[in-house]
Every structure is written in C-alpha cells, then in structure tokens.
Amino acid sequence: MARPHLVLLHAPSVYDFRKEAILYGPVSDVVPSTPIFEMYPIGFVTLAEYLERHGFRTRIVNLAVRMLKDRGFDAEAFIASLDPLAFGLDLHWLPHAQGALEVAKIVKRHHPQTPVIMGGFSASYYHQELVARQEVDYVLRGDSTEEPLLQLMKALASGGALDRVANLTWRDERGEVKVNPLTYLPPDLSDVALDYSHLVKAVVRDRDLASNVPFFNWLGYPIMAGLSCRGCTHGCVTCGGSAYASRHLFGREKPAYRRPEMLAQDIKDIRRFSRGPVIVLGDIRQAGIDHAQKLLSSLQGTEGEAIVELFAPASREFLEEMASALPHFALEISVESHDPVVRRAFGKHYPNREMERTMEYALEAGCQRVDIFFMIGLPKQTPRSVMETIDYCEVLLERFGGDGRLHPFISPLAPFLDPGSAAFEEPEQHGYRLFYRTLEEHRQALLLPSWKYILNYETRWMKRSEIVEATYEAQLRLNRLKAAYGLMSSEERLATEERIAKAKELVGCIDRLLEIEEEARRKRELQALKPQMDKVNFATLPEDRELALPVGWGRWNPFWAARLVAQEWWEDLKGGR
C-alpha cells in the first residue's frame, strides 16, 4: 500500500464516547447517523477526488464508524501507524468540536511535525480560535475548498509560500495568526465531482472497508447524494448554511449551482453501481424553474428511488414533471410548525393550505413517499404549540395517510443553534438566549452528562427543560399516531415508547445526580448509569456490529462494483503498489 499524501479523518462528536457517560438525546433522529454523528461530510468525497485528479493520493478514514463498529478498536494506535504528508480533519458540524480537537491532539502527539489542516463550516466560523490552538496548524475557510486544499498541499510538498494559498488561516514562524483573503469562491460547481466510484476503489486500494463507509448502516442503506448547489437562497433564521450565513461567513452572494446536465449525469452514474436511494441535495428550483425543468428532462424515466427536497410549495405541473422524470420519487419537506406565525418567525413564508395542496398534487402524481418534518425550539413556539403540531399531524394523516405514504417527523433543534445563523448572531432579535458562544465553550459543553445541558440555547418561549419535555411528549404522541395509521407495527411502537420512557427517567436521574457535591461520587454514580444511557443512545444499532459487504448486497450492482474493483487491482499491479 503506497503512503497517502493526505489522510482525511472524521472524528466522533465526543472522542471518548465509549467511556463518557452522556445521554445525547434525540439529536440525530432525522439523519442516518447515531448521536455521535459518525457520518463524514460528503465534501470528503469531492476533496479526495479533486486531489487525486491532481496527483495527491488521499485516504478517507472514518474513525467514528471504526470506533462504533469495534469496541476494541484502538484509534490512537491506528493514528500512530499512519504516516502521510498531512492530516485533514473536518470540523464541519459544531457537534464535533470535542471529538475533532481531541483527534487533532492525538495526531500531534504521534506526529508532531505533520501538519494538521481543518476545514468545514464550523472551522470556517472559528478559524482564528482554532489556529490559536497548538494542535491545529491550518484552517481552510469556505464552502468550497477543493482548490485551496490543492494549493496548500502543493505548498507543503514543495515548501512554497503560504501567504498565496486562498482562504487559508495559519500561523507564521513568529506564531502570529495570518488570515489570507477569501479569494476562492467558485460561482458554479463545474469543477467538482461527487464521484462515489472513488470510494469503491479506495476500499480495494487501502484494503479497508470500514474506514470508507459514510455512516454505520450505509452498507445496508447505501444512500448517495447528488449535489445541486452550495449555499442557499432561503433565510431560515437558525440555519448556518442560509443565504444570510453564507454571505457573512463566505462572502457568497448567491449559491453555486451544478449545471443540470452534469447533475443528471452524476445521478445516472450512481445508478450504474448502486440500486440504493439517491438524494438530490437542495431544492432544484433554487436556480429557477427553467434550470429545474432542464434537469428533469435530462433525467426522464430514471429508475430507482430518488429523494427530492422541497423548500417551498410546488405546483401540480412541476410535480407531474417530477413523476415523469423520476417515477419512483419521494419528497422531503420541512414545514417546521403547523403554525404559520412560528414558521414565518423561522423564515418560511407560506400558508398551510399551499403546502397541503403540494402534498395532494405529489401523492396524486404517484409520489412514493412524502416525509414532513417539524422542529422544536423555534421562535414564538411554546410547549402548547408543539402539542398542537402533533394535532395537525393527525389532521394530515386523516386526510392523506390512508395508504401509508405520508410520514410526519418531529425532532428538536439540537444539540446546537448553528454558529453564523441569524439567530446565533442576533439572538435577542429572534428570541434566543445563548449559553455558549466560543468553540471552547461548545467543546466543554459536549462533555456534560445530559443533552438538556448540552443545548446551547433556550428561547423566550421555552426553557431548556421545556424543550426536552416537549420533545419527549411530542415524540410519544406522534409515535402512537403513526402506529394507529399503520406506519409502524405495535412492536415498534412499544419499543419506541419504552425507549422514550427510559430516556425521560434518565434525564431526571442525571438532574438529581448533578446535585451531589462531592465530585468523585457524582462521577461514579453517573458512570454507573452509562449502560442504561447507551441503551437509549444506540438503540438503533444491531448488537452484532460487524460490517460486511454482503449486508446490503441486493442494493448494489455487482457487475459494476466488480468492474471498479478490477480496475483498481489492475492499477495496483501496474503501479507495483
């Protein structure tokens, strides 16, 4: 195996999650990860592809999945065994503040001379605080760092000047922090490729399946993404990727779009080797309806499950076009609240009837599934309003739920209000109160024993304890409703109910233990609760955590995968690797 130039490491949100006694809460209920957020940013795939295209061998190591899969996996020894020219770590999502910094420290302990590069949305926000730490050498800012990372790798390989690397924050020989200008901000996505075949080949090249999988259950549910844009035209006040945040953080005035023909090709390429679902990230109408129609006509009749996001109501004609292009399409719609006043305060401006019509048109057009998402912790939202949202779910299920295609979800805005979002920057104006602001404060908060204290905010309308209580109550009621409408079996309903009851009990226990003044005893008693906490934290993980290829074999096109594997073996042989 040849030595990689760059190793991209993805840390769990809390490095020592296997030892720390923490009740993470339902923070990852609507994403494929567990609460330690083991999924790496898809940017890892575009970064790796870009660097390899320009001659820099890049290896992805999902430490979080490896630690989750194998309780005995020694992450530190593994890091010590690597020997690249540089390490890259994502601090994309702020919930990784503790894990990513701890991994950076381990890297420095074993490789004091090897540069540590960080990137991602949160790294961009906290770039100065990051490079002031000894364990971090460089931060690349921006939502598009493929080219700046290549410039940095070239400079590191040849001893070139660092002040010319775009978007770089670094320390000079005197330890002074330098912030290079944000000069790289591509206006479109023509130069990046979300090429998953790179992953398949890397598995063969590095003889390492577990390090490459994007999240724990990916082999069983191999969802892949098509990227329609970077940035967003919308202004949701709690979102760190909104138009407001992109402008302030990256100087992005409008999103960078992938050309429709290119995006259609990306999706068809995925289809060649995977029969799993493809999610198209970003509402495809953001660049205008013509752009969306061009994409749909290039996709005409594409088979397989395609998940499409809608950020606002859609017309009947549009949904019919969608059905003709993607006959097995599913929709994801975040309406946030049943109450248009709350929704407006959040930054979404449409009445319920328009979205209800959208659901009706979609289902009539043959949409396979409509997922509707509601959130807890919003401006102007009270505990009572949260319960009324569940009443509204019943109204929707009564109207559309007959054949099981409509699926409502409710989850808390947790663990953190996004840095860079309008609500984080101007909390009082949006009715928020922040408990933590700096990176270090968030890092420390992640080690607190309950999500009630990890939450970095409360609102004028709900205290942290009310957010926690309303979440469990709403999830309990929604669970019962879903069982009544045949969306889950009675065994599933009972199992979820038991888990929620256990979680509520643990929140209370932790509160009581936190009153113990003697630190050693407090820690000991919290530690004694860890097995029960983990039963709730990782309830969705199988007991037997082996990852093996055949798990989701039916979802793969074996001929195409075999072709990619053979190609890589051939390259291996030719290159004498």
What is the H or E stretch that residue 397 is in? helix 383-400
**The entry of ligand SF4, ligand B12, none that residue 236 binds, CB within 5 to 8 Å by partner kind:** ligand SF4
- Closer residue to ligand B12 in complex, CB, 85/516: 85
CA pseudo-torsion sign 501, 507, 508, 510: positive
Does 119 participate in binding ligand B12 (rule CB under 6 A)? yes
Q: Which of these, 132, 137, 158, 8, lies nearest to 79 by C-alpha position?
A: 8
Residue choice 4, 25, 84, 88 for contact with ligand B12 (CB under 6 A): 88
Task: Compare residues 240 and 260 and give the one whose CB is closer to ligand B12.
Answer: 240
Interface with ligand SF4, residue 342, by CB under 6 A:
no
Alpha carbons 516 and 16: distance in angstroms, whole number: 24
Could you give the angle at which helices 383-400 and 352-365 cross, rounded to 10 degrees? Answer: 30
Query: Alpha-carbon distance 296 to 311, whole Å?
Result: 17
Compute the distance between CA of residue 75 and CA of residue 290 in angstroms, rounded to an integer: 49
Q: How far is CA 11 from CA 100, 103, 166, 220, in A?
A: 5, 7, 26, 22
Contacting residue, 84, 241, 277, 431, with ligand B12 by CB under 6 A: 241
**Helices and strands in the chain: count of H runs, count of E runs:** 24, 17
CB closer to ligand SF4, 28 vs 217: 28
- Which amino acid makes up residue 358? T
Nearer to ligand B12, 128 or 300 (CB): 128
Buried b (16+ CB within 10 A) or exposed e, 507-523: bebbeebeeeeeeeeee
Nearer to ligand SF4, 138 or 346 (CB): 346
* Site membership for ligand SF4, residue 416 (CB under 6 A): no
Residue number with CB closer to ligand B12 (121 or 318): 121
* Nearest distance, CB of residue 342 and ligand SF4, angstroms: 15
Q: Applying CB under 6 A, which part among 164-172, 233-241, 337-345, 492-500 lies near ligand B12?
A: 233-241
Binding mask 284-323 for ligand SF4 (x = CB under 6 A): ---------------------------x------------
**Footprint on residues 368-427 left by ligand B12 (CB under 6 A):** 418-419
Distance CA 57, CA 41 (A): 19
- Regarding 337 and contact with ligand SF4 (CB under 6 A), the answer is no
Q: What residues make contact with ligand B12 under the rule CB under 6 A?
A: 27-28, 31, 33, 37, 39, 41-43, 46-47, 88-90, 92-95, 117-122, 140, 143-146, 149, 227, 230, 232, 239-241, 281, 418-419
Q: What residues make contact with ligand SF4 under the rule CB under 6 A?
A: 232, 234, 236, 239, 241-242, 311
